[in-house]
Amino acid sequence: MIKGPSYFLENGESVMGQNDALMWSKVHPYSPLGSGYRLNPF
């Protein structure tokens, strides 16, 4: 369960917390789904 702001991933079904998305994008610029999509939560 995600509490607070959320960030929808490119497939439209997967969601991650906004803080997690920000941390993920600083370490790894691509989506955690492995699709090659560039993550941009800013």
Domain that holds residue 35: 1-42
Confidence of residue 24 (pLDDT cuts 50, 70, 90): very high
Q: What is the mean pLDDT of residues 15-41?
A: 93
Picking from 11, 2, 17, the residue whose alpha carbon sits closest to that of residue 33 is: 11
3-class secondary structure, 23: helix
pLDDT at residue 28 in the model: 93
Characterize 5-15 residue by residue with b for buried, 16 or more Cβ atoms within 10 angstroms of its Cβ, and e for exposed.
eebebeeeeee
3-class secondary structure, 25: helix
Provide the whole-model pTM.
0.78
Total number of domains constituting the chain? 1
